Amino acid sequence: MEAKVVPQKFIVPIGPQHPALKEPGHFEFTVEGEVITGATVRLGYVHRGIEKSTEDRNWVQNLYLLERICGICSHIHATAYVLGVEALAEVTAPPRAQAIRTLVCELERIHSHMLWLGVAAHEGGFDTLFMYSWRDRETVMDLLEGLSGNRVNYSVNVLGGVKIDVDEKQAASIRKGIDFLKERTTYYMKVVTTDETFLGRTRDVGTMSYDQADALAAVGPTARASGIPRDVRSDAPYAAYPQFPINVITAKGGDLAARFVVRINELFESYRLIHEILDKLPVGELTTRVPRRIPENEVISRVEAPRGELFYYLKSNGSEKPERIKVRTPSICNWATVMNFAVGLKLADMPMILAGIDPCFSCSDRTVVINRTNQSQVWSWEDLRQYGIKYYR
Amino acid sequence: MNLTIPPLIALLFFPGGIFLLGSGLLYEYVDRKLVAQFQNRIGPRWFQPLADILKLLAKEEVTPEGVNPQLFVALPVVALAAALTAALYVPMFGFQATFTFRGDLVVTLYLLSMMTLCIGLAGANSIDRFSIIGATRTLTQLFSYEAPFLLALLGPAIVASTWQIGDINQYAMTHTWLIVTQPIGFIVAVIGLMGKLELPPFDAPEAETEIVSGALTEYSGRGLALFRIGKDVELVIGLTLVVAFYLGGLGNPWVFLLKTLVLLLITAGLQSLFARLRIDQTVGMWWRIGALVALVQLLAVIIGLFIGRIF
Q: pLDDT tens digit string along A258-283?
A: 989 999 999 999 999 999 999 988 88
Q: pLDDT tens digit string along B205-249?
A: 887 777 888 888 888 888 899 998 988 988 988 888 888 888 877
User: Residue A351 is nearest to which of B203, B210, B273, comparing CB atoms?
Assistant: B210
> Is the pTM here over 0.90, yes or no?
no
Q: What value does the mean pLDDT take over residues A84-94?
A: 90
Residue A328 pairs in a beta bridge with A311
Contact A19 B212 (CB under 8 A): yes
* DSSP summary character for residue A248: P
* DSSP summary character for residue A13: E
Contact B209 A123 (CB under 8 A): yes
Residue A27 pairs in a beta bridge with A14, A41
ipTM for this prediction = 0.81
Domain extents for chain B?
A: 7-310
Alpha helices per DSSP H over A168-292: 168-194, 196-202, 210-215, 220-224, 232-235, 256-279
Query: At residue B118, what are phi and psi to the nearest 5 degrees?
Result: -65, -40
Residues of B in contact with A33 (CB under 8 A): 136
Could you list the beta-strand ranges (E) of B58-191.
Answer: none
Contact A200 B41 (CB under 8 A): no
User: Residue B39 is nearest to which of A13, A128, A346, comparing CB atoms?
Assistant: A128
User: Residue A346 is nearest to which of B208, B209, B278, comparing CB atoms?
Assistant: B278
- Confidence category of residue A2, pLDDT binned at 50, 70, 90: very low
> What is the DSSP annotation of A112-128?
HHHHHHHHHHHHTT-HH
Residues of A in contact with B136 (CB under 8 A): 33
The rounded distance, in Å, linking the Cα atoms of B14 and B209 is 39
Residues of B in contact with A13 (CB under 8 A): 129
A22: closest chain B residue by CA: B209
User: Residue A197 is nearest to which of B136, B208, B274, comparing CB atoms?
Assistant: B274
Nearest-Cα distance to chain A for B236, in Å, is 24
> What is the DSSP annotation of A174-196?
HHHHHHHHHHHHHHHHHHHHH-H
Residues of A in contact with B129 (CB under 8 A): 10-13
User: Residue B209 is nearest to which of A122, A135, A200, comparing CB atoms?
Assistant: A122
Q: Which CATH class is domain A50-330?
A: mainly alpha
> CB of A347 within 8 Å of any CB in chain B?
yes
- Residue A1 is predicted with a pLDDT of 40
Contact of B202 with B193, CB cutoff 8 Å: no
* DSSP summary character for residue B14: S
Instruction: Indicate if the alpha-carbon torsion angle B266, B271, B273, B276 is positive or negative.
Output: positive
- Residue A176 is predicted with a pLDDT of 92
A129: closest chain B residue by CA: B39
Contact of B134 with B280, CB cutoff 8 Å: no
Q: pLDDT tens digit string along B146-176?
A: 888 888 888 888 888 888 887 888 787 777 7
Q: pLDDT tens digit string along A331-377?
A: 888 888 887 788 888 888 888 888 888 887 777 766 555 555 555 56
For testing the chain B interface, which of A18, A30, A128 should be mutated: the one with the most B CBs within 10 Å? Answer: A128
The rounded distance, in Å, linking the Cα atoms of A356 and B123 is 30
Contact of B198 with B207, CB cutoff 8 Å: no
- Residue B130 is predicted with a pLDDT of 86
